[in-house]
Amino acid sequence: MAAVDSAYLCPQPFDTEGVETCTPDELLAWARDVVSDGRSYLRLQTPFPFIQDGLDIVNGETHATSMGTLSHMRTDQVTRNIKELVAAQTNIRIIPAFRSDIEEFRQQTEILNKSFMAWQGMTFADRKIRKAWQYACAAGTGYLGIR
C-alpha cells in the first residue's frame, strides 16, 4: 500500500478536548512551508517564465510584454475565450444518479436523488459556480475549488 502524502494538511490546532496541540508559531511555519513548496512547484513548470506575459496579454497590456514577436493587433478574442471557458466549465448537468441493486436501499436512493435535485433548484449552484469561474478567469488566479 502506498504512503499517503499528508504534508499539505494543516496541523490540528486543538485536540478533541480543546487543548492546544500546536502553537501559532508552528501553524505559521507550516503555512510558510506550504507557500514555499507551492512557489517551488510553479517555478519548475515549463510556462513559468511566461506567466507575467500571459497576465499582461489578458489584461490588454500588450506593450508591457517583453516578447517582440507579438502582434500589436487587438481583438476581443480574449473576452470570447474567457466566456467560452466559463460556459464550458459551468455547463453542469446534474443528473440524479444514486442507485442501488439492494432492495432495502431503493427508498434511500430515491430520497437522495430527490434531495439532490431539490438542492440544485433551491441553491442555484450552477449560477454560483459560473460567477466564481468568471472571477477566477478574469480577475483571479485561474483556479477554483468547490467546497
Given a cut of 60, whether residue 4 has pLDDT beyond it is: no
For 10, counting Cβ atoms within 10 Å of its Cβ (0-12 exposed, 13-18 middle, 19+ buried), the class is exposed
Q: Where are the domains of the chain?
A: 75-147
Given a cut of 80, whether residue 111 has pLDDT beyond it is: yes
Each residue of 53-102: pLDDT tens digit?
Answer: 777 776 666 665 555 565 666 566 777 778 888 888 888 777 778 888 88
**3-class SS at 33?**
helix
Burial letters for 47-81: b for 16+ Cβ neighbours within 10 Å, e otherwise? eeeeeebeebbbeeeeeebeeeeeeeeeeeeeeee
Half-sphere exposure (Cβ direction) of 145: Cα atoms closer than 13 Å: 2
Each residue of 20-57: pLDDT tens digit?
Answer: 888 888 888 888 988 898 888 888 888 777 777 777 77
Q: What is the pTM of this model?
A: 0.40
Task: Please give the C-alpha separations between residue 131 and each of 68, 83, 118, in angstroms, as whole numbers.
Answer: 35, 11, 21
Residue of 6 and 120 predicted with greater confidence: 120
pLDDT at residue number 96: 78
C-alpha cell, 122: 433551491
Let me know: does 130 contact 90? Beta carbons within 8 Å. Answer: yes
